């Protein structure tokens, strides 16, 4: 992968906005639906699972965006020119 291919915080934020909103909704629902007097024990596992899914999606999206940036930075014509010059 090209070392110069980087992603920005803004790119990742924009790409994950819908997933973030979904996560916040899930956390809100878990906490609100937990029984009175047992908010932590009634919501903690649901929140942990939602956060784990979100963490995986953020990481996957970041890798995907960086891969796309590297592909965009790749110039096949430069490689062809170098091969032609070597002959």
- Measured from the Cβ of residue 23, the count of other Cβ atoms closer than 10 Å reads 19
Express each pLDDT in 51-73 by its tens digit: 999 999 999 999 999 999 988 87
Global pTM value: 0.77
State how far the Cα of 63 lies from the Cα of 27, in Å rounded to an integer.
25
Residue 83 pLDDT level (bands cut at 50, 70, 90) = low
Q: How far is CA 14 from CA 9, 18, 23, 49, in A?
A: 8, 8, 15, 23
State how far the Cα of 56 lies from the Cα of 10, in Å rounded to an integer.
19
Degrees, nearest 5: CA angle 54-59-60: 95
């Amino acid at each position: 992968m090209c070392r110069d291919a980087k992603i920005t915080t803004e790119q990742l934020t924009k790409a994950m906005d819908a997933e973030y909103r979904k996560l916040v909704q899930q956390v809100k629902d878990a906490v609100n639906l937990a029984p009175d007097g047992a908010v932590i024990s009634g919501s903690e596992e649901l929140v942990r699972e939602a956060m784990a899914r979100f963490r995986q999606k953020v990481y996957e999206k970041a890798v995907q965006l960086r891969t796309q940036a590297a592909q965009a930075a790749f110039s096949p014509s430069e490689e062809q020119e170098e091969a032609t010059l070597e002959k």
